[in-house]
Amino acid sequence: MKKTSKLESTDYCSYYASKCKECKGARRVWKNDIWMACGCQYIASVKWRFEQIDVFPPSLKYLSWKDFTGDIKAVHGGKSQISNQLDMSTFIHAKKEVLKYCFNSSDISVLDDRQNKSAIFERYAAGDNIIISGSKKTGKSLLATLILKEVVYASVSTKNDLSFEWISWNELLEAARWDTDKPINSEQLYLWSDIDFLVIDGIARQGGHTTPPDLVALNSFFVRRRHLPTIIVASTLFVYDCRHPIRSQGVEYKFGSELLSLISGSNNFMLALLNTVEKPDSVRLFLDILEEQGKIEDYYKANEYKSMRNRIDHEIKEKELKERENRE
């Protein structure tokens, strides 16, 4: 169920009008011999829509690009402290990849000229997906929120309505399952399948502790999304499963072929957020995927890549040796 927000859409409209130099609170302007809704009203309605989406946690909505620092925060005794950091190479790559998705450029200075640099409509026309993977508390959802904010900016600056929505993996599975006490929520699935930019947050191997989703419903949902941008937020392991020749069969069996082909599509934008204490297997998986896609050079300088590869291979070898010792 949707929480009702304290501020209604009309409150937003009055607020933006009250600060508007063009209509000075009147909400309308006299143009070409007729009264027209002032531009501030359009901004108000898009901002209001952004307020209504169920981003989790809601505080993410108020963060900006400056807040994606690579620091991983944890709350200790009521205080937020830095508990860990993202692996530097994957942090830099992640930021570049999301900027590229939004602006076709990985240079942070594009933010000063959003209006001209935005690539959001290009992503929309091409139906480009982005797969954000990583372990817990690494900033995956923050990046997804930053993308939706760019969708809001693009809508406002061009006055072209783009719809956007944020749903959780569990909500999607719940809508797509049926049981003796509930039917499939086809209407909801249909509405979500039609959203221009849809974030699906928290995709993981487990999920749904009840009856499994109906694969016909889930497949047709993703078929309808084939030409619309989907922003996937998933665990590294789930993405790994989708790309593994054998494990991917398990994904297909549980969640259908369409989700599998969405996540493993080779045209996707893709990134993984890994922390410095990440299991080296995850880092190796990420590098393997980049290599398979022939995208290593997009992300790493040759020497940087080589030393990272060496470090990871070394760490994995050490780990295997230790495990063997423990067994003996």
Q: Does 46 bind Zn ion (CB under 5 A)?
A: no
8, 11, 22, 292: residue in contact with Zn ion (rule CB under 5 A)? 22
40/259 with CB nearer Zn ion: 40
Of 57, 259, 23, the C-alpha closest to 142 is 57
- Whole-angstrom Cα Rg for the chain: 22
Site mask for Zn ion (CB under 5 A), range 184-223, x = bound: ----------------------------------------
Alpha-carbon distance 67 to 155, whole Å?
23
Binding residues for Zn ion, total number by CB under 5 A: 5
The nearest distance, CB 163 to Zn ion, in angstroms, is 23
Q: How many CB atoms lie within 10 A of CB 309?
A: 16
20/271 with CB nearer Zn ion: 20
The nearest distance, CB 246 to Zn ion, in angstroms, is 59
8 A C-beta contact, residue 300 and residue 308 = yes
Alpha-carbon distance 92 to 90, whole Å?
6
**Sole residue written with tokens 């939706």:** 148
Stretch that binds Zn ion, among 30-38, 71-79, 127-135, 286-294 (CB under 5 A): 30-38
8 A C-beta contact, residue 208 and residue 178 = no
The nearest distance, CB 36 to Zn ion, in angstroms, is 10
Q: Does 40 bind Zn ion (CB under 5 A)?
A: yes
Strand segments (E) across 9-51 = 28-31, 34-37
Q: Does 285 bind Zn ion (CB under 5 A)?
A: no
Q: Does 167 bind Zn ion (CB under 5 A)?
A: no
* Helix-strand-coil split of the chain, %, nearest 5: 55, 15, 30
The nearest distance, CB 28 to Zn ion, in angstroms, is 8
List beta partners, residue 31: 34
Q: How many CB atoms lie within 10 A of CB 148?
A: 22
Q: Does 13 bind Zn ion (CB under 5 A)?
A: no
* Packing angle of the helix pair 247-255, 257-264 (nearest 10 deg): 130
23/308 with CB nearer Zn ion: 23
The nearest distance, CB 39 to Zn ion, in angstroms, is 6
Q: Does 107 bind Zn ion (CB under 5 A)?
A: no
Alpha-carbon distance 42 to 142, whole Å?
25
23/239 with CB nearer Zn ion: 23
23/285 with CB nearer Zn ion: 23
Of 220, 205, 289, 291, the C-alpha closest to 254 is 205
Distances (CA, A) of 4 to 30, 95, 158, 189: 34, 33, 29, 21
The nearest distance, CB 12 to Zn ion, in angstroms, is 12
48/269 with CB nearer Zn ion: 48
38/285 with CB nearer Zn ion: 38
Q: Does 20 bind Zn ion (CB under 5 A)?
A: yes
The nearest distance, CB 11 to Zn ion, in angstroms, is 15
Stretch that binds Zn ion, among 31-39, 70-78, 138-146, 203-211 (CB under 5 A): 31-39
8 A C-beta contact, residue 280 and residue 251 = no
Q: Does 231 bind Zn ion (CB under 5 A)?
A: no
Q: Does 38 bind Zn ion (CB under 5 A)?
A: yes
Q: Does 23 bind Zn ion (CB under 5 A)?
A: yes
Alpha-carbon distance 209 to 157, whole Å?
43
Surface-to-core class of residue 217, CB atoms within 10 Å of its CB (0-12 exposed, 13-18 middle, 19+ buried): middle
Q: Does 308 bind Zn ion (CB under 5 A)?
A: no
Residues in touch with Zn ion (CB under 5 A): 20, 22-23, 38, 40
